[in-house]
Amino acid sequence: MIKILVPLLGDDVAPRFDLAPEAYIALVDNNHNIVEERTIVLSEASAETLCRMILDERITMVICGGIEDEYYQYLMWKKVAVVDSVIGSSSKAIALASRGALESGAILMERSSPK
């Protein structure tokens, strides 16, 4: 079982960890199924608030966009796996992460051809 937290902006992984207005938490079983999920609206966007929530919720993996090294190192030190610089929808990111196929810097978004 892995418990994943994704800072959200709409349905996508928020581009910035410290500025995400919402967080999505999913509990994924060994068969890659989401057995529990919820979205939390944060009272204020802050990296500290998210870190506290990550530890309180006993999150094992964080999927995020840009994150400052200070918070990245802190979470790693707390034994939370961090996959950062992910661009794309949270559902795609979680699906890949549950199969162990998500890497830092993954771009899961379809590129729109510029108009």
Partner 1 sequence: MSGSSLDQHFGIDSSLLPISRVLDEIPLGVAVLDHSRNIVFINRALVSLTGFDCSESYGIPCSYILRCNHCFHGCPVKQLSRENRSVTSESNIINRSRTKIPVRVTSSLLVDEDENSFGFIETFEDIRVLESECAKVDRVLKLDDMIGRSPQIQRIFQMLPVIAQTDSSVLITGQTGTGKDMLAEAIHKASVRAKGPFVKVNCGALPETLLESELFGHQKGAFTGAYENRLGRFRLAHNGTLLLTEIGDLPLALQVKLLSFLDDKVVYPLGSSKGVHVDVRIIAATNRNLEEMAQEGRFRRDLLFRLNVIRLELPPLSDRKEDISTLLDHFFRMMSLRFKSRAKSFSPEARDILLTFRYPGNVRELRNIVEYSVNVCEGDTIEVGHLPAYLIESADTEEIDVEFDDETGDDSEPVAVFKLDYPNWRAAEKKMIFEAMIKAKGSRTRAAAILGWGRSTLWRKMKRLGIE
For partner 1, the binding residues (CB under 8 A) are 9, 12, 15-19, 21, 45, 65-69, 72, 84-85, 87, 105, 107, 109, 111-115
Q: Please, what is the minimum distance in Å from the beta carbon of residue 103 to partner 1?
A: 13
- Whose Cβ is closer to partner 1: residue 27's or residue 40's? 40
Query: Are 64 and 86 in contact, with CB atoms under 8 Å apart?
Result: yes
Question: Are the beta carbons of 50 and 24 closer than 8 angstroms?
Answer: no
Closest CB to partner 1 among residues 12, 97: 12
Tokens representing 20 are 């995400």
Parallel/antiparallel/unpaired status of strands 81-83 and 61-63: parallel
